[in-house]
Amino acid sequence: MDDSSTSSTPTSGSAAPVTGSNPLLDPRDLRMPRIADPCVLVMFGITGDLARHKLLPAIYDLANRGLLSPSFSLVGVGRRSWSDDDLRAYVEQAARAGARTPWHQAIWDQLAAGMRFVEFSSFEDDGAYSRLTGVVADLDATRGTSGNRAFYLSIPPGWFPAVTQRIAASGLVDESPGSWRRVVIEKPFGHDRASATELDALVSRIVRPDDVFRVDHYLGKETVQNILALRFANTMLEPLWNQRYVGHVQITMAENIGIGTRAGYYDTIGSARDVIQNHLLQLLALTAMEEPTSMTAPAVRAEKEKVLASVRLERHGELDLDATTARGRYDAGFQGGVPVKGYLEEDGVAPGSRTETFAAVRLEIANRRWAGVPFYLRTGKRLARRVTEVAVVFKRPPFLPFDDAATAGVGANTIVLRIQPDEGITLRLASKVPGSHMELRDVSMDFGYGGTFNEESPEAYERLILDALLGDAPLFPHQREVDLSWRILDPVIERWAAVGEPDGYRPGSWGPRSAHQLLARDGRTWRRS
């Protein structure tokens, strides 16, 4: 069919399609999947746990869903003496173990044909970067990857200077007309504000700021993205989403497991740096932001940055971090009837470590919408259950015409955004109990992803890897967001470093006593505490 004959007159109020363009590729048609350009993805740290459990299965799933170009090529970089076939066997094992889509041999054969491995004796091996350059150039010639290159840096931050310097010197990221260069970075984005700024300067050696994609895997979750849909696609909520009606907000990421084999990483980071600086502050920004003018990356980021710039650590105008923060460390004990080690007894934890496994902080937002509404953030290991949620708790009615006995079982209206593991939304409200008496009790109205949609939510890394290859950036924090997040957290970390040990807490509990006192000062309690 002649392409020139496919153009049509657009409907009133809609954007006119480009003359001579393929109508099947109209970006407004949501039936058509977005497919990444042909490219080479160079993965540093491909032999690590993250790649094995998350990244490689996600790549197979994307290929299986037809979202990667047939020319897509994967280059693994590591310290093992592997051949290309060894890499293929490793990736196949990871994909078979972790992929959520069925195995299709034809898909795998096509994907495996573009896999290459480059051995690095170290990240300072100049000769290895020369070999890497040759492998990428060969893939451009033999696989038709069009010169498009993405670099996934799943490596410890300490290696960033060596890697970025040598990637820049190798010519791998030199710009070429008609092709793109992108860098994907895994957290942590530094360990404080100064180191985050230094890290950004290192990455700027490679590519332009708009071509840097900082992965916060929480932003890839459907339930996190649904916060924006809930807020800005439903008229009924907007009039209530402010300090006039909202009493406070609780944001929780709790885990019922310990640190496992991650002591080498966790003991240098702690809960606050690991979770609050990125995940929880991003959830706060999405919950509190104003409506963006569009869902483009600049518009969404601008509103999130306004929120983060307005966050204050003060309580009622006074800065007292001992009263507005809490930290803890799980002790030895029993959880689920099974004896578990205390944090200091875990393999790989330094003797005398002061790293926290629980962190909580009270924040306020200094703007018209949220003035006077506290936001309580908490995260921890070895807590009572695994749950991540945002609970928007509304103020109680100023007057109730019912007897006190009738309302004894009534709490505050609450909207709970359930992020994991039970994905959905819960609305808690008061209702009359059937019977001859006027008795009120809290009931729940529930929406669950599993019971509503036939489609299974994609793994977060699927969405994030695809968006990085597409150059679609709304789900990736900008450096300005990272800087603002560290501005909030740095004073807390500095205060904790200057005082004693973290408070101990029992495994299977909801954290140390100081965390409960944090809310008790405001006359409140944590959910499920």
Q: What is the DSSP string of 109-147?
A: HHHHTTEEEEE-SSTT-HHHHHHHHHHHHHHHHHH--TT
* Contacts with 9 (C-beta within 8 Å, 6 or more apart), sequence order: none
Q: pLDDT digits over 40-92, tens only?
A: 999 999 998 899 999 999 999 999 999 999 999 999 999 899 999 999 999 99
Q: What is the DSSP string of 248-274?
A: EEEEEEE-SS--TT-HHHHTTTHHIII
SS3 523: coil
Q: How far is CA 84 from CA 89, 103, 414, in A?
A: 9, 21, 54
DSSP 8-class letter at 308: H
DSSP 8-class letter at 62: H
Sign of CA dihedral 39, 40, 43, 49: positive
- How far apart are alpha carbons 184 and 41 in whole angstroms? 10
- Strands in 277-386 per DSSP E: 311-312, 325-330, 333-335, 338-340, 358-365, 375-380
Q: Looking at residue 5, what is its pLDDT?
A: 41
Which residue do the tokens 């909030």 mark?
A: 488
| Domains by residue range for the chain, with CATH | 31-186 (3.40.50.720), 219-458+477-520 (3.30.360.10)
- How far apart are alpha carbons 13 and 308 in whole angstroms? 36
Q: Looking at residue 477, what is its pLDDT?
A: 93
Q: Is 437 a catalytic residue?
A: no
Q: Looking at residue 264, what is its pLDDT?
A: 83
Q: Looking at residue 190, what is its pLDDT?
A: 85
Tell me the angle at which helices 479-498 and 193-203 cross, rounded to the nearest 10 degrees.
150
- How far apart are alpha carbons 187 and 201 in whole angstroms? 16
Q: Looking at residue 26, what is its pLDDT?
A: 64
Tell me the angle at which helices 222-232 and 281-288 cross, rounded to the nearest 10 degrees.
20
SS3 425: strand
And the tokens for 177?
Answer: 């007309």
And the tokens for 152?
Answer: 């996934």
**Residue pLDDT tens, the chain, 529 long:** 444 444 444 444 444 444 455 555 566 666 667 889 999 999 999 998 899 999 999 999 999 999 999 999 999 999 899 999 999 999 999 999 999 999 999 999 999 999 999 999 888 989 999 999 999 999 999 999 999 999 999 888 778 888 988 999 999 999 888 899 999 998 878 889 999 999 898 888 888 888 999 999 989 999 999 999 999 999 999 999 999 999 999 999 999 999 988 888 899 899 999 999 999 999 999 999 999 999 999 999 999 999 999 999 999 889 999 999 999 999 999 998 999 999 999 999 999 999 999 999 999 999 999 999 999 999 999 999 999 999 999 998 887 788 777 777 788 899 999 999 889 999 999 888 898 888 888 889 999 887 888 777 778 999 999 999 999 888 899 999 999 999 999 999 999 999 989 999 999 999 999 999 999 999 999 998 6
Sign of CA dihedral 169, 173, 175, 178: positive
- How far apart are alpha carbons 475 and 24 in whole angstroms? 26
- How far apart are alpha carbons 211 and 184 in whole angstroms? 9
Which residue do the tokens 């990125």 mark?
A: 278
Q: How far is CA 456 from the centre of its chain?
A: 19
Average model confidence (pLDDT) across the chain: 90
Q: What is the DSSP string of 388-419?
A: EEEEEEEPPPS---S-GGGGTB----EEEEEE
- How far apart are alpha carbons 82 and 140 in whole angstroms? 22
And the tokens for 274?
Answer: 């690991």
Q: How far is CA 89 from the centre of its chain?
A: 29
Q: Which of 217, 248, 279, 478 is catalytic?
A: 279
Closest CA to 379 of 406, 359, 361: 359
Q: Looking at residue 35, what is its pLDDT?
A: 87
Residues in the chain: 529
Tell me the angle at which helices 160-170 and 193-203 cross, rounded to the nearest 10 degrees.
20
Rg (CA), the chain: 25
Secondary-structure breakdown of the chain: helix, strand, coil percentages, each rounded to the nearest 5: 40, 20, 40
pTM of the model: 0.89
- How far apart are alpha carbons 91 and 107 in whole angstroms? 13
**Cα 201–Cα 215–Cα 223 angle in degrees, nearest 5:** 150
Determine how many CB atoms are found less than 10 A away from the CB of residue 361: 23
Q: Looking at residue 431, what is its pLDDT?
A: 86
- How far apart are alpha carbons 330 and 343 in whole angstroms? 6
- How far apart are alpha carbons 56 and 45 in whole angstroms? 11
- How far apart are alpha carbons 401 and 391 in whole angstroms? 27
Q: Residue 75: in which H helix or E strand, if any?
A: strand 73-78
Judge contact between 285 and 308, C-beta under 8 A.
Answer: yes
